[in-house]
Structure 1
Amino acid sequence: MDESWEPGSLTKVVHLLFLSGAWGMQMWVTFVSGFLLFRNLPRHTFGLVQSKLFPYYFHICTACAFVNLCILAPQHAWTRLTFWEASQLCLLLLSLTLAAINARWLGPRTTAAMWALQTLEKERGLGGEVPGSHQGPDPYRQLRDRDPKYSALRQIFFRYHGLSSLCNLGCLLSNGLSLGRLALGLRSL
């Protein structure tokens, strides 16, 4: 391909809708809904909601990144990419990769570890309280101190959860930078 392909108006609109839609969804899930649900739902209910919500969320993020990459990639002559064009493609590829890792690998492992933790907690009568509502010593800390299996499962859960959160923040940042790049390229509002 010798020359750059100039996308039509519909292609530009679809690209902007998918990119801004994914970024808006990521902002909402990352910074609003998770905190609201965590603060207001019983612990195990929160886990159940997240286990149902996150697979869709991660797959939608993956699909949006894929569509955006498919729209943007053919627009440029690969031999003459500018720094900004190459960075835009790299950001979308990074977003696609991180979302796919979350959807296919980290998300299911985090959920499996959470179910194992909840099973042990239910056996001990825990999990029905809203976080921060218990008085006195922390029953989860006591369980962690007394039960090495629970402590090990908790470490596994937090390892996967932490990696998943980093991937999610990477997607959010990649899409935010891509949106910023698009905004800088606007000729008028």
Structure 2
Amino acid sequence: MFDLGSFHILSYGTLLGSQIYQSFIGGIISFRTLSRPQFSTLQSAIFPVYFSLQTALPIVTALTFPGERTVLGVGPSSVNGVLAPKNRFTTLLPLATVFVTGITNLLVLGPKTVKVKDERMQQEIRDGKKSYDPPPHSKEMQALNKKFGRLHGYSTLVNLVSLLATMYYGTVLGQRLC
């Protein structure tokens, strides 16, 4: 028999696990271990996959939403269950938040950050100095560093909102299991 609940737990667990791993384990260890250029190359390869997961997994989680079991039977499941009035704030809102934050990083902030990173690399060639070398820097590099820092900060904030929404939904899911 096809059991939505199992797929729901697996998709939610994959979402939360990937967020925690990338944010607090893999990213930090990579930054501490690799040289700046190696770290940048690794993150450039990981982020599109990570942000794609953050975009796709809330959809999978919504599609596999199991109906609530009551004495009257089983309530609406899948998207109908997510859209049910009683689930709009506890299920739809956090899953939609994760989707929107994921797609924002995937399609907007990620590409803009990569563009500025590439511009900094070109400026490093012109300046003969790395963007992360001690000051002084050219005015152009200062502006690029500031822009990169701002975009990276926005992306990090959006990622944090996504993680908090995922954790909030986890508490809702946990209450349903009790």
TM category (shorter chain) comes to 0.7 to 0.9
Pair 1:126-2:130 in alignment: yes
**Amino acid in the other structure paired with 1:74:** N
Residue by residue over 1:101-156, the C-alpha shift from the partner in whole angstroms, topping out at 9 and shown as x without a partner, is 011111111111112212323552537xxxxxxxxxx833222xxx0100111111
Structure 1, unaligned runs of 5 or more: 1-7, 128-137
Task: Letter of the 1:167 partner, please give it.
Answer: V
**What corresponds to 1:156 in structure 2?**
147
Q: Could you list the runs of 5+ residues in structure 2 that have no partner in the other structure? A: 66-78
Runs of 4+ in 1 over 6 A off after TM superposition: none
Q: Which of 88, 110, 125 does residue 107 from structure 1 map onto?
A: 110
Aligned to 1:20: 13
Query: Identity rate of aligned residues, in percent?
Result: 26
Alpha-carbon displacement from aligned partner over 1:23-53 (angstroms, at most 9, x marks no partner): 1110010011111111111111111111111
Quote the offset at 1:77 in angstroms: 6.9
Q: Distance in 2 between matches of 1:114 and 1:104?
A: 16
**Equivalent pairs, count:** 164
For residues 82 and 142 of structure 2, what CA distance do their matches in structure 1 show? 52
Give the TM-score of the pair, scaled to structure 1. 0.79
Matches within 5 A, 1:1-189: 10-72=3-65, 73-75=79-81, 78=84, 81-82=85-86, 86-123=89-126, 124-126=128-130, 139-143=133-137, 147-187=138-178
Report the 3-state secondary structure (helix = DSSP H, G, I; strand = E; otherwise coil) of the residue aligned with 1:140: coil
TM-score (norm 2): 0.83
Secondary structure of residue in 2 paired with 1:139 = coil
Report what 2:76 is aligned to: none
1:170: how far off? 1.0
Cα RMSD for the two superposed structures = 2.0
